[in-house]
Amino acid sequence: MIQLAFRRAILCLAVAALAAPARAADGPAAALIEKVANEVIALIKVKTGRDREAGIRTILVANFDLAFMGQSALGTHWAATPAPQRERFLKAVASAEARAYSERFGQYGGQTLTIGRVSTRPNGVTVVDSKLSQTSGQPIVIQWEVRDAGQGLRITDVKIEGVSMVMTRRSDFNSYIQNHGGKVEPLIEELEKRAGN
C-alpha cells in the first residue's frame, strides 16, 4: 500500500523531527517547526513503546492540521465518504502515522535541521525552508507548509526534496481504494490494522 517515496518521506520526516535546530527560528511559522523538533527530541529521550506512540500522536494532533491533510489525501473520495467514516479515517491516519514515527524515532541522532528562508504565499500558507544535515551524504531539503485556518498555526504539508507527503499519500490511498473496489472502508481497515487498533 505505501510506496517507496512515502516511506522515504516518513523516514526523512522522522529524522527531521529528531534533529536539533541549528539556529533560532525567524517568525511564528519557523518557531513552530523548531518547537515540534524540540518536543519530539524531549519525548524520545524519556518514552518508549506505547507511551512514545501516544506522545507522538499528541504532537501530531497539536501541531499538524490532520483534518486538512486527511481530506487532501483522500482527494475526490472525501465528498462521497459519510461523516462517521471520515472520522474513522482521520483517526486511523493519525494513529498509523504515530505508530510509524514512534517505531523509527529511536534509530536516529546527531543530525541538524537548519531553518532557512521563510516566505508567505498569497493563499496564506507560510513556507519554512530547511536543510537536514546527515552524518554522511548531501543535506536533505525539507519545506514545511504552515497555515492558520482558525485553530492557530498548523503544519499542512511537508515536502522532502520537493515531494509532497500529502500528494504522495493521496496517490497511495487512491491506488489502494481503486484496488479494493473503489471503497474507502478497506483503506480505513488497513490503516486501523497498521495502527494496532
* Tens-digit pLDDT string for the chain (197 aa): 444 444 444 444 555 555 545 444 578 999 999 888 888 877 877 888 889 889 989 999 999 999 999 999 999 999 999 999 999 999 999 998 888 888 776 655 566 778 999 999 988 899 999 888 877 778 889 899 999 988 899 999 999 889 999 999 999 999 999 999 999 999 999 999 988 86
pLDDT at 17: 52
Fold of 4-195: Nuclear Transport Factor 2; Chain: A, (3.10.450)
Question: CB of 39 within 8 A of CB of 162?
Answer: no
Question: CB of 73 within 8 A of CB of 66?
Answer: no
pLDDT at 4: 40
E strand intervals along the chain: 20-21, 112-120, 126-133, 140-148, 153-160, 163-164
Sequence ranges of the domains in the chain: 4-195
Q: What DSSP element (H or E) covers 74? A: helix 66-74
pLDDT at 106: 60
pLDDT at 151: 85
